Structure formats: C-alpha cells, structure tokens
Amino acid sequence: MSRESFDRELQELKRNLFQITSEVRKNLTASVKYLEKRDMQGAAMIIESDEIVNLKCLEIEEQCLNIIATQQPVATDLRLLFSVLQISTEIERIGDYAKGIARISQKIGPGELIKPLLSIPRMEEIAGEMLDDAIRAFTEDDETAARNIPARDLQIDVLYNQVHRELITFIMEKPSNIEQTMMLDWIAHNIERVGDRVVNICERVIFTVTGVPVDLN
C-alpha cells in the first residue's frame, strides 16, 4: 500500500487551507483599516475577494470528499480530513464577517465616523493574531497552543462589552447618532464572533491530535 500520493494530497489540502486563511486574515485586517480610513473602494475590494474565498472553500470540500472516496482514510487521517472540512467552514464564515464589516462600512458611507475607533481595531488585532496562531497550531499539530489560544477570546469579549456600553452612551447623548452607532456595534459584534470561530478551530486542532472532542467555548 503506497501512501505517497495520499500524503501528497493531504499536504496539498493543508496548503490550500492555509492559503484561504491568509486571504481571510488579510481581508479581516483590511476591513477595519478601510473602515477607519473611510475607503469605499477598499471595502468593495474585500467584498469581491470574498467570492474567491468562498469558491476556494468549495474546492477544499471537494478535495476532502475525493480523498475520502478514493483513499478510505482512518484514524488520524480521517480526523484530519473531517477537521479540514470543519475548519474551512469556520474560515469561510470569518471571511463573511470581514465582508460584513466592508458592507457596513459602505452603508455608513464616506463621511466622518462619530468617533475615532480604538477598541474595534484592537479587537481585530487580537482576533487576527488568534487566527494566525490557530491555523499554525493546526498545521503543526500543536495541541498546547490550541489549548492556550482561546483564553485570548476573553479579551475580545471584554473589549466588545466595552464598545457596546460606550456606543449606548453615544446614543443616549445624541439620539441622531443611532444609525451609525448601531452599525459600529454590529461591526464589533462581527469581530467578537471571529474570536468564537477561532476557538472552534482550536477545538478541531485538539480533536485532530487527540481524537477527543472538546468544547472550549
């Protein structure tokens, strides 16, 4: 029984997953950057780029199905494929959050924001780093890293609550700000969800390595 082609296929699959993660990570950071800069063209580029991410996710799914059908994987291989399928869904959803931020940014329009952004970019920074580390943990089968990353999601949650309260104060102070305030809250919520999705990825990493399903959320 030769595993050469099988191993090659698995490596390629991991590479493809890594590639879409980089793409999504770039979009996530850019979405907040363009929001701050009020860059409408940039926002449009993110929305366009998400289409490619979605297509690549479908390709990964097809690749997984082909491998399952032709190689009958078991044990770690099977868990790996199952995890790739799940992680690619998480990545695709994170991509959707970045696209969502770009869309909201477009809705807000090119005018000035009601306040300079502080916590939202910080949230994005933490979530982005978590995503980088989670996908690295996956490619390196690093269970310890996967167990440590989710703690950082708490920082995102704390920041989100802070942003939320701050925005409510804004509405109370000046009810005419309500529309943009709600949109910014929506953006912060999107980033908060990114943190949760990364935690899910960490769970898949642990499952791949140990075979034991865990709930870290």
Partner 1 sequence: MEAERAEKTRMMTEDYSLFYGDFKALNNINIKIPTNKITAFIGPSGCGKSTLLRSFNRMNDLIPGVTTAGTIFLDGRNVAREDVVELRKKVGMVFQRPNPFPKSIFDNVAYGPRLHGTKNRSDLAVIVEKSLKRAALWEEVKDDLHKSGMSLSGGQQQRLCIARAIAIEPEVILMDEPASALDPVATLKIEELMNVLKRNYTIAIVTHNMQQAGRVSDYTAFMLTDEKRAGNLIELGPTKQIFTTPSDSRTEDYISGRFG
Q: Which two tokens stand for residue 71?
A: 């190689």
Q: Hey, which residues between 54 and 83 contact partner 1 (CB under 8 A)?
A: 72-79
- Cβ proximity to partner 1, 94 vs 205, nearer residue: 205
What is residue 216's DSSP assignment?
-
What is residue 118's DSSP assignment?
S
- Cβ proximity to partner 1, 75 vs 116, nearer residue: 75
* Shortest CB 211 distance to partner 1, Å: 3
Asked if 192 contacts 153 with a C-beta cutoff of 8 angstroms, the reply is no
Rounded Cα distance between 204 and 138, Å, is: 8
What counts of helices (H) and strands (E) characterise the chain?
7, 0
1 binds partner 1 (CB under 8 A): yes
Q: Hey, which residues between 110 and 169 contact partner 1 (CB under 8 A)?
A: none
Number of residues that bind partner 1 (CB under 8 A): 15
- Cβ proximity to partner 1, 2 vs 176, nearer residue: 2
3-state class (DSSP) for residue 104? helix
- Cβ proximity to partner 1, 74 vs 173, nearer residue: 74
Q: Which residues bind partner 1 (CB under 8 A)?
A: 1-3, 6, 72-79, 210-212
